[in-house]
Structure 1
Amino acid sequence: MMSMAANDEAADIQAIAGRGFGSLTGACYLLLRIQDRALAKPWLRSVDIASVAQARTQRLSQVCQMAFTAAGLRALGTEVTPGAGFDPQFIDGMAGDERRSHQLGDEGPNSPAHWHWGVGEQEPHILLVLLAANTSINSLAKDTCSAAVAAGCAVIGGNTPTTTTTPLGREPFGFADGVSQPEYDWSGTLTPGGARDRDYRNLLAMGELLLGYPNEYGFVNDYPAADELGRNGSYLVYRQLAQDVAGFWQWLARQAGDDDGAIALAERMVGRGLDGAPLLGLQSATITGTDDARNAFLFADDADGLVCPIGAHIRRVNPRSADDPQGRHGFVRNLISTLGFSGTAMHDAVASARFHRLSRRGRPYGPVVAPHAAMQGTGAGAGAGQESGLHFLCLNTNIARQFEFVQGAWVANAKFAGLAAEQDPLLGNRLPLAGAQPTDAFSYTDSGAWPRAIGGLPQFVTVRGGAYFFMPGLRGVARLLADG
């Protein structure tokens, strides 16, 4: 595989594939519909899209990135079919199938029928991700909106607020965010397969992030290969998630009886401390692909969830599972484990994480309310009707195997890892299963080593909109926007 450090490759990759630009604290996620292709194409060609190569060599004061829905590609005159190499899930769209909505938990209040954007006339064609300093993001957004309208595009206003300058590093419930991110093999030296995949690693093959490269199976995913349209591209998933911060903390305070107990219970539900530290009792481990102490731990020594509950949020979105739940122990023990002569079925109930990781690029929005203030109903925005939430963005090359698997099989699934009646304690929609089986429980072991189970969890997070986008490399963008 060609090294991703090569200048011609790095110059072709959109910059957010390589980094999240945390120093640019202002963001705007501008959703557009093309109304006049003849006007839109020349303007879109003029938009300066930052590349990985630029991000490596320059200190960028603003960044623009561009991605297209399937409807947007059609509006530009591009054939969008599986035969052309496009991902079937991308072609269908996030809200294009009732079965997909059911799988993703997009039912009840989360149903696309209630979304602010993403469906019908509010379905976007183009996403422009604009990043800049707090002091300049509003003017950048305003100027870009004006230029878009003049170029025959309609601005979809449903993804309010248009811009966000909410401090980074914490999500609205107050927890450190972005702690566990995968690293990618930009040098092209990783060869998946073999004994070392029995251990969990945080370093992944480039084909999990970018199209045109071998993935964790050792294969290259199908992609739009004509004129290398898809090479160095990725699929971008965007979901706007509203978070009921006051409801979350006040419910916890009622359950726990006091503020400190509420925080302790919240940390069990998330699986981390508010500061992002792993829960006390999880043993540290050396993990390939990370040197962050907050990320250097495994769940192998906590197989029954006595420290970090099985259903905790971080355990669902990244169970840190390897190809062998017992890890690597030498030829004889590896053989015994492979043949199923050791361990239990329950401890092997979660798929290997390396096939399902995501590179997240989301940002919070709305007023910041500290946990204690939220419990008391005080603080900025508390009770004032101002929405807080998360612009969730992630990059992957196989939507079904990566985003949809994590969201459907791990987050929304009430039977994750052998549990019953428990969805993700943060993201679950709490709707009962067929036969009226509840999904609103959470089980854990308290600080006194007593097993506990809580029922009646409310829904804390509601989907406001969403879409699947194709984010090409810069050469791919040029081919999509060429005249003809």
Structure 2
Amino acid sequence: MAGADLTVPGDVTERDDVQALLRSGFGPLTEACFLLLRVADVVAARAWLARVHVTSMADLDTKQETVLQVALTAAGMRALGTDPKVIDGFSAEFVAGMAGDAARSRRLGDVGPDAPEHWDWGWAEREPHALVMLYAQPGALAVFREEVVGSIGAGFDVLTSLETSDMKGHEPFGFLDGVSQPSIDWNGERAPGSAADLDYGNLIAAGEFVLGYRNEYGRLTERPIVDGAQDERAAALLPRAADRPNAYDSGRNGTYLVLRQLEQDVPGFWRTMSAAAPANPIPLAEAVVGRRLDGSPLVPLQPQRIPGVGEDAGDRVRNQFTYTRDPQGLACPIGAHVRRANPRNGDMAEGRTGLVGQLLCTLGFAADTDADRIAPSRFHRLLRRGREYGRLLSIREAQASVEHPPAGIHFLCLNANISRQFEFVQNAWLQGTTFGGLTGEADPLTGNRAPLMTGAATDEFSMPQGGGVAKRVAALPRFVTVRGGGYFFLPGVRALRYLAG
């Protein structure tokens, strides 16, 4: 890419300084809970953060019975007495917070019943200062949690504990979940912006997820830098900044963590699918999601290998595909949830690599102009680490259920740039009503159904038909409600000690 600085480090070597969540979702550790904390005593809170053992990437070389990860909000850093100049070095989105202003809430779709004032946590005095994530082998979480809460002592109050459930790889609507993740280029093997990126690839620069390393622009993402001449503790604890002399990097080996509690109306979803398709609601539900219940894609697999797609058979049969052979959405509707979340496109529409094809795309004369309206996937990828909660219902149980205990996903993703990654995907692709040339359609699965400022509806879902008028499902009800959310910083181990003061 023109102007890219390839001297910026691309390989992540300080594995003992990177919290393990960046490397793994800890699948074998089927029990987990997320503790949301508020500072009760500054001195005690700092002392606990300074001594607590957080699992690093290097620790994953051996089997882990339990794992602990720690992240902080900007409000938490202020409560700990972190230097305001250090806090101001973080991204504006993180400093303001997910519920920090009405404009951000509108962009994220957090309006109406999803508005922060209706959340169970994440708003005003219910905004957490710290997030402690606990993972354990089956049967071991209760004792582990008791030990951790006891060690916190007087430092923090537990605002709430987000419990999780083991749904055997499925999410509450019944679909196999977590089947598509970006592969991180930990060794810095690829040069972002080369001709290979004209086509879709799943191998993404480490700097898209870990601060202090080369991102997909070949540069360092902005992060907090500390002047070593004015801060002796920074010089003693933090790594040197790769791009600034006499400066130390409190962002290096860290990342931003987005957490949203999304409650799913499982009975409502399956009743709606059944009403629209009484004979068999499953194909319609799969069209809405964009995958089959077993996680397989709705479009055919392609024979050529996609860089970054795993060699194992399970990954290939679920991820060896793009949408280039389905430009009209005949197999997988353009507005389907997973097609919006990752359009699987390259830097040029349909990955046109010929000189004439590239020129036509650049000038806007390509035959498939709708594909040009979707930004390249590689700049907007998210590393998802969420967990489900509640009880998994069968389709039959869901159709017959009137009320059931809350169920949903504690959506958790990691990204180095909240605005360009999470907020872009949420605003432009999921909530956006013009995605891929559509009109009047937000995400059929997660959309808030709020009308546009013009009064136009956003609650339709269209399924194109070959040679005919598209099938439409109108007046879709809300299936997902936001119950809480926040922006956190998951620091490197050294930066955690520094921020602890």
Aligned partners of 1:69, 1:454: CA distance in 2, in Å? 40
**1:406 is aligned to 2:425:** yes
The amino acid of 1:435's aligned partner reads T
Distance apart, 1:331 and its partner CA: 3.4
Aligned partners of 2:375, 2:360: CA distance in 1, in Å? 19
Which moves more between the two structures, 462-471 or 324-333?
A: 324-333
* Structure 2 counterpart of 1:156, from 156, 159, 164: 159
**1:481 is aligned to 2:485:** no
Q: In the alignment, which residue of structure 2 is the partner of 1:433?
A: 452
Q: Deviations over 1:49-96 (max 9, x none)?
A: 0001111x1100110000000001111111345884201100010000
Distance apart, 1:163 and its partner CA: 2.7
Counterparts of 1:15-414 in structure 2 under 5 Å?
A: 15-55=20-60, 57-80=61-84, 84-148=88-152, 150-157=153-160, 162-226=162-226, 227-258=248-279, 261-281=280-300, 283=302, 285-291=304-310, 292-293=315-316, 294-377=318-401, 383=402, 385-414=404-433
Judge conservation of contact 1:49–1:64 (CA < 8 Å) in 2: yes
Aligned partners of 1:448, 1:275: CA distance in 2, in Å? 29
Tell me the SS of whatever aligns to 2:488: strand
Tell me the SS of whatever aligns to 1:29: strand
Gaps of 5+ in 1: 378-382
Judge conservation of contact 2:48–2:155 (CA < 8 Å) in 1: no
Distance apart, 1:47 and its partner CA: 1.6
Q: Between Structure 1 and Structure 2, how many residues are aligned?
A: 468
Which moves more between the two structures, 454-463 or 344-353?
A: 344-353
Q: Deviations over 1:218-269 (max 9, x none)?
A: 11011112232110000000000000111111111111113xx211100000
Aligned partners of 1:280, 1:295: CA distance in 2, in Å? 10
Judge conservation of contact 2:300–2:321 (CA < 8 Å) in 1: no
Judge conservation of contact 1:362–1:392 (CA < 8 Å) in 2: yes
Aligned partners of 1:449, 1:62: CA distance in 2, in Å? 55
Aligned partners of 1:479, 1:61: CA distance in 2, in Å? 27
Q: 1:108 to 1:83 in 2, by over 3 A?
A: closer
Judge conservation of contact 1:137–1:163 (CA < 8 Å) in 2: no
Distance apart, 1:418 and its partner CA: 1.7
Aligned partners of 2:257, 2:355: CA distance in 1, in Å? 40
Judge conservation of contact 1:134–1:165 (CA < 8 Å) in 2: no
Which moves more between the two structures, 274-283 or 104-113?
A: 274-283
Judge conservation of contact 1:185–1:203 (CA < 8 Å) in 2: yes
Identity over aligned pairs, percent:
48
Aligned partners of 1:112, 1:236: CA distance in 2, in Å? 18
Judge conservation of contact 1:306–1:449 (CA < 8 Å) in 2: no
Aligned partners of 2:462, 2:85: CA distance in 1, in Å? 44
Q: In the alignment, which residue of structure 2 is the partner of 1:380?
A: none
Aligned partners of 2:361, 2:368: CA distance in 1, in Å? 10
Q: 1:398 to 1:5 in 2, by over 3 A?
A: closer
Aligned partners of 2:12, 2:366: CA distance in 1, in Å? 43
Counterparts of 1:455-474 in structure 2 under 5 Å?
A: 455-474=474-493
Judge conservation of contact 1:70–1:80 (CA < 8 Å) in 2: no
Distance apart, 1:4 and its partner CA: 3.9
Distance apart, 1:274 and its partner CA: 0.3
Q: Deviations over 1:137-169 (max 9, x none)?
A: 122223322333x23311112x5xx43232241
Aligned partners of 2:487, 2:69: CA distance in 1, in Å? 15
Aligned partners of 1:338, 1:413: CA distance in 2, in Å? 24
Aligned partners of 2:85, 2:368: CA distance in 1, in Å? 43
Distance apart, 1:321 and its partner CA: 1.4
- TM-score, normalization by structure 2: 0.90
Aligned partners of 2:488, 2:43: CA distance in 1, in Å? 22
Q: Deviations over 1:145-201 (max 9, x none)?
A: 2333x23311112x5xx4323224111101111111001110112111131111110
Aligned-residue RMSD, C-alpha: 1.9
Aligned partners of 1:111, 1:134: CA distance in 2, in Å? 36
Q: 1:337 to 1:251 in 2, by over 3 A?
A: closer
Q: 1:4 to 1:217 in 2, by over 3 A?
A: closer
Tell me the SS of whatever aligns to 1:299: coil
Aligned partners of 1:67, 1:10: CA distance in 2, in Å? 18
Q: In the alignment, which residue of structure 2 is the partner of 1:445?
A: 464
Q: 1:80 to 1:415 in 2, by over 3 A?
A: farther
Distance apart, 1:2 and its partner CA: 4.6
Judge conservation of contact 2:361–2:372 (CA < 8 Å) in 1: no
Judge conservation of contact 2:335–2:462 (CA < 8 Å) in 1: yes
